[in-house]
Homo-oligomer: A and B are copies of this chain.
Amino acid sequence: MARDRSERRADEVTGEFDLIDRIRARARGRPDVILGIGDDAALLQVPAGKQLAVTMDALNAGVHFPAETGAADIGWKALAVNLSDLAAMGAQPAWCTLSLSLPLAEEAWIDAFLDGFLELAQRHEVALVGGDTTRGPLSVCVTAHGFVDAGKALRRDGAEPGDDLWVSGTLGDAAGALAQRRVGRAIDPALRSRLDRPFPRLPLGLSLVGFASAAIDVSDGLLADAGHLCARSGVGAEIDVAALPSSAALRAAFDADALRTLQATGGDDYELCFSAPPQARAAVEAASDRTGTPVTRIGRIVEGDGVRVLLADGSEWRPANAGYEHFG
């Protein structure tokens, strides 16, 4: 973990040197971490026969989370969005690195940030092995590493016409929280929790390996992400809007039209959207049961391209708004 050269020149110097030690003292190892924080690079041992899955996502204050978000929630979410990518690959997470840009090295904030980050890391036995700290606008960049058996990863490009399309959990909750915040309504705590503390669907992702034909995590909104999956697979999809899963909290807070739009286009769900052949339905449901992760069959993969959302009468539904910022 490299020290920021600029830090030596400011009053935070001491705090910054402490900061690295503070992170290092709290980071737990794993047997496959040969050398963790404290050298020019971490040294890591990938198990024989495994491929490495690597993903990197940054969160910027005011863009990816509201500026008032608590430090522990920012820490949790910065790791969660990366682990969600590994879940969508069917990868077993192992290690992460963290680049933390901070206007000030404030001890209480950093301790709280690490509380959230490391709580999620330890839940999935992910070792924090390196990174850096820099001075600048609040921004968190994480790289997460995981393992997959060679040739077994869940990719975006394997969906086939005739496959079912599935989604885990419920959709639109995080976007619902942002919509409530935007219009100054009290934010429902259940929705807020989905926004601030997404649970990466790692157990489900691992359980789908072998029979799901393609998968993606829902971060841009279901329609956008199902669209990415279809584009990569060279197929289209039909989604039954009535089938989209919703939470009781979201149904209580929004009318039917807003609800649909949040479910179909809201971002930050961090659920898995995946395809699987119809003969795998029992296997999908068994994976759901085994991992305690609800799944819903929401449509089907078809020939062609693009994602169409269908009403019960078979007519096409289009979201009234391009994104949730128009809610109120």
Q: Measured between alpha carbons, how far is A270 from B291 in the docked complex, in Å?
A: 48
A290 contacts partner chain B, Cβ-Cβ < 8 Å: no
Interface pick from A82-90, A240-248, A302-310 = A82-90
Number of A interface residues at 8 Å Cβ cutoff, please give it.
75
A77 contacts partner chain B, Cβ-Cβ < 8 Å: no
A/B interface sample: 22 pairs, CB < 8 A: A2-B85, A5-B219, A8-B221, A8-B224, A38-B232, A39-B155, A39-B232, A40-B89, A41-B91, A41-B146, A43-B89, A54-B97, A55-B97, A55-B130, A56-B99, A56-B131, A56-B143, A58-B134, A59-B134, A60-B134, A60-B136, A136-B137
Which residues in B have their C-beta under 8 angstroms from that of A44? 51-54
A168 contacts partner chain B, Cβ-Cβ < 8 Å: no
Which residues in B have their C-beta under 8 angstroms from that of A312? none
- CB under 8 Å from chain B, chain A span 71-119: 85-86, 88-89, 91, 95, 97-99, 101
Q: Measured between alpha carbons, how far is A144 from B60 in the docked complex, in Å?
A: 21
> In the complex, which residue of chain B has the Cβ closest to the Cβ of A137?
B137
| Min C-beta distance of A102 to chain B, whole Å | 11
Q: Is the CB of B6 within 8 A of A63?
A: yes
Which residues in B have their C-beta under 8 angstroms from that of A88? 40-41
Q: Is the CB of B63 within 8 A of A51?
A: no
**In-complex Cβ contact of A220 among B5, B58, B130 (8 A):** B5
Q: Measured between alpha carbons, how far is A232 from B20 in the docked complex, in Å?
A: 14
A325 contacts partner chain B, Cβ-Cβ < 8 Å: yes
